[in-house]
Amino acid sequence: MSKRPSSTCISRQIPTKRPRFGPSRDQPNEPPPSPYPRLKGAHLPPKIRALPHILQQIDVFLMTDDEAAIEAARTGLAEWLDDLIPEVDDRTVTNAILEASTHGHIACVEVLTDEYEDRGITAYTSWETLQEAIEAAAANGHLEVLNHLLSTVCPGSDTLRKAELCGTTRGALGVAAEGGHLDVVKFMVEYAKVTDYPGHEMLGSECSALARAISGGHKVVVEYLLNLEGCSWDFRAAFVAAVDAGDKALADRIYVQTPEKDELFIMLSCRGNLDALKYLYETGHNDAKLIGQAFVKTTNWEGNDTLEFLLGTGRVSSEAFEKGFETAVESAWDRVNMVQFLLDKKRASAKAINKAFVVVQDSDILKMLLERELIWDESIRAVFEQATGNLSEYDSRRGQSGVRIIKLLHVKDCIPSNMIGKAFVVAAEKGQSDLVALLRRDGRISARMVGAAFAGSATRKKSDMVMSLYDTTISPDAILAAFSNAAAQERLRNVKKLVKLFSDHDLVPQEFKHKAFVIAARLQYDTPLQILCESGPDYWPLTILKEALAASREDEVKNLIRKVICDQLYDPKCPWAR
């Protein structure tokens, strides 16, 4: 175990010979008070519990090396920490850096960062902890520690770590401004000016330092940041902070410095900064076009209170309202609530509602519109057709959306049988078994459609779909089409199932099995041919064998057919060999 700190590091020297105190007869031993978590549950004599420095020494004695290193970093005991460092793991080294940085112990930070570099620690979790240490030093105003960390921590050529360090320094500037640490703020600004991370702007519109200084009430920091040239800041957040603080003069100054003033109005609306938005409106920023633009953009967010305010101005035109309605239907964060809110206003025309209906991909929105509004038949058919096209096994989200929409709309009388049939066939081809089962019960599904779905499903890897659609009403032509599809995709499970159907002479005339033989030869796959040949004792007509041989191009397929011809030629039972 590593050395524990000398008694002068922690408290007074404990005498070599310590008097023993037995428990009081009338007072039982009790656990020591916090903050000594390692002594929790320990029953010590009352006189020991009354001596904090003794409790502290005992607590230190019970620490593991890792715990002791963290304690040394927290309390700034660099010599003790230096003794402990060789015994601890990489994670403890970085956690100790965070602890020492938080409390401003530069000597400890220097010891630890030297160890960090000597070990060549590269773990991403350690890198994250260093980022936390930078922000912690800035938040607590420890400029010397912050300077040391930023001069030591290097992302190298790692572009991700460069971006993260840029974000960390921007965050450090923000927390320093919020804490009113002007010296740290000035240092971070200069650091940002001389540090070049292409594509990452530390003092740009994403930096909230000005807003945080305003919220923290640090006027000196606010003035410094406002008077800096070439810094754009997050003026929206700063404007909101000024209005919330009741400093209208400051809000006006920020507005003057904001480069995109119309964009400020719109973003205040979108973010739901209602007080700041009202202040702008009341100070003359009430152009109808601008309010309409803000309304449309806000319908894509969550801001019913803001929308109420904008509508209450009487400056949202019908055109802007309907455009906002379409936006909400298509892409609002909380579409159901937003669409419900807008429908309650009774301002959208039937044309706008139906136009929006056609672009919806959400069955809940469609259901709401169907229940509340007059939806035209052509709109319903258009959505149904789109949903059929979205039945994709490769895009689960779109496919499931299509399934839900078809389940919702298939009961509508305006959906013709051919559209129902197409959806049924596509659902079978894409393996949407629940939808297939639902649509098959629809009276508009004909036997021909079932046959088409049966044939289409044969392209799937599993045979459960194709056989679930089979019944005695499936025509031989449909079975032959299914075989052709399965053989073309080399779905051999399906091929075997279908060949069994060909072998039932009562259901399928033999000519279809013969056609299947020629189809398999034409497809140049010998395995389906072998399955057909192994399916029963039937003899193949010579005309079929010759047709298959002429259709084939692959040597393996030709040789297989020639073998069948020779086997039957010398078989006395073969009808054409006599």
Distance CA(387)–CA(399), nearest Å, equals: 8
CB 409 within 8 A of CB 439: no
Cis peptide before 35 (omega within 30 of 0): yes
| HEC profile of 471-534 | CCCCCHHHHHHHHHHHHHCCCHHHHHHHHHHHCCCCCCCHHHHHHHHHHHHHCCCHHHHHHHHC
Helix (H) or strand (E) holding 449: helix 447-457
Structure tokens at 255: 């507005």
Asked if 183 contacts 222 with a C-beta cutoff of 8 angstroms, the reply is no
The whole-angstrom separation of Cα 493 and Cα 232 is 66
What's the pLDDT at 28?
Answer: 43
Spans in the chain with pLDDT lower than 50: 1, 3-4, 6-33, 199
Which residues partner with 27 through β-bridges?
A: 24
- Say what the pLDDT of residue 11 is: 37
Burial of 90 by CB count in 10 Å (0-12 exposed, 13-18 middle, 19+ buried)?
middle
Q: What is the distance in angstroms between the CA of the first residue and the CA of the last residue of the chain?
A: 100
pLDDT in tens, 460-513: 887 788 889 998 889 999 999 999 999 998 899 999 999 999 888 888 999 999
Answer for the pair 518, 551: CB distance below 8 angstroms, yes or no. Answer: yes
DSSP secondary structure of 212-234: HHHHTT-HHHHHHHHT-TT----
Q: Give the pLDDT confidence score for residue 198 in this predicted structure.
A: 53
Question: What is the CATH number assigned to the segment(s) 177-253?
Answer: 1.25.40
User: Is the previous residue joined to 31 through a cis bond, with omega within 30 degrees of 0?
Assistant: no
Tell me, what's the pLDDT at 36? Answer: 74
Q: pLDDT at position 576, please? A: 83
DSSP annotation of 30 reads B
- What whole-number distance in Å separates Cα of residue 474 and Cα of residue 478? 6
Say what the pLDDT of residue 193 is.
84
Contact between 516 and 485 under an 8 Å Cβ cutoff? The reply is: no
Domain residues of the chain, as ranges? 177-253
Contacts of residue 223, Cβ cutoff 8 Å, sequence gap at least 6: none
Six token digits for residue 425: 């066939």
Cα separation, 479 vs 475, in Å, equals 6
